[in-house]
């Protein structure tokens, strides 16, 4: 098999693709293939990784035109066609790059973020939007002697959104973030909704109003790519739909 990797050291005008042939072993991940590329072909290749266990979210990349975590994506599954995900189109996944999906794995940087070098992108804008939603717990009561108790019935919905690892795969898959770079994006909105539904929170509907702007809840067109690519199955679309419903209800009650 071959791994075909996007390279960019000096800006888009000098970008290229390098290809390296390797023997796939059972359990080989795309991240493992990149290490082989680095050790045996070109040690100057740049990519991010950390935990190698699908926990930190650092190694999100565009793999065979789908945003994925390189550390958990099996090469054999890609070559067998087992990991195909239908996505709503946007330029990054429509760009014509010649590669044989049965023999090659195509690895590119995550879309919608500036490329620093090769597969490393500047994640700053993604985290700026995350900071904009004020992701800090604001308790409704004074500090307790032990812990804040919570109704167990609230936990399942809350866990849907606390599972987000901020890998930005949803951001890289979102057609709205492609056409409107100022859109807060699925991850930030899902995290904002997570604080709204936390029963220990003080602000309630005021939380939702943080993103009650054209580039917040109301900019989503419900393409669904965010849910399809999320490695933790976080459903931003459900959060966005429920937030809109609550804000509309709030407006009717005024």
Helix (H, G, I), strand (E, B) or coil at 36: helix
Coil/strand/helix, residue 107: strand
pTM: 0.92
What the block records as the tokens of 137 is 């717990």
The DSSP line for 85-98 is ------HHHHS---
* DSSP SS3 for 185: coil
State how far the Cα of 179 lies from the Cα of 111, in Å rounded to an integer: 12
Q: Look at residue 13 in the predicted model and tell me its pLDDT.
A: 62
pLDDT tens digit at each of 254 positions of the chain: 999 999 987 655 678 999 999 988 899 999 999 999 999 999 999 999 999 899 999 999 999 999 999 999 999 999 999 999 999 999 999 888 889 999 999 999 999 999 999 999 999 999 999 999 999 988 877 777 778 878 888 889 999 999 999 999 999 999 999 999 999 999 999 999 999 999 888 878 999 999 999 999 999 999 999 999 999 999 999 999 999 999 999 876 65
Do the beta carbons of residue 216 and residue 184 sit within 8 Å? yes
194 burial (CB, 10 Å; 0-12 / 13-18 / 19+) is buried
Domains in the chain and their CATH numbers? 2-120 (3.10.20.30), 123-253 (1.10.1060.10)
């Amino acid at each position: 098999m071959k791994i075909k990797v996007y390279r960019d050291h000096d800006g888009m005008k000098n970008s290229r693709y390098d290809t390296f042939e390797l023997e796939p072993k059972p359990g080989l991940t795309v991240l493992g293939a990149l290490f082989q590329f680095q050790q045996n072909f070109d040690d100057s290749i740049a990519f991010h990784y950390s935990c190698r266990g699908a926990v930190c979210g650092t190694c999100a990349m565009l793999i065979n035109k789908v945003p994925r975590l390189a550390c958990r994506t099996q090469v054999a599954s890609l070559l067998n066609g087992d990991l195909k995900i239908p996505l709503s189109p946007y330029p990054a996944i429509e760009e014509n790059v010649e590669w044989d999906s049965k023999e090659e794995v195509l690895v590119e940087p995550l879309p919608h973020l500036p490329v620093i070098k090769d597969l490393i992108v500047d994640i700053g804008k993604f985290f700026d939007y995350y900071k904009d939603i004020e992701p800090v717990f604001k308790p409704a009561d004074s500090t307790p002697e032990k812990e804040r108790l919570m109704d167990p019935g609230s936990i399942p919905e809350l866990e849907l959104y606390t599972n987000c690892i901020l890998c930005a795969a949803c951001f890289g898959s979102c057609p709205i973030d492609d056409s409107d770079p100022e859109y807060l994006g699925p991850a930030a909105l899902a995290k904002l909704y997570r604080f709204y539904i936390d029963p220990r929170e003080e602000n309630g509907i005021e939380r939702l109003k943080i993103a009650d702007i054209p580039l917040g809840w109301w900019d989503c067109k419900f393409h669904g790519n965010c849910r399809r690519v999320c490695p933790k199955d976080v459903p931003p679309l459900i959060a966005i739909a429920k937030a809109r419903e609550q804000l509309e209800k709030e407006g009717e009650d005024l």
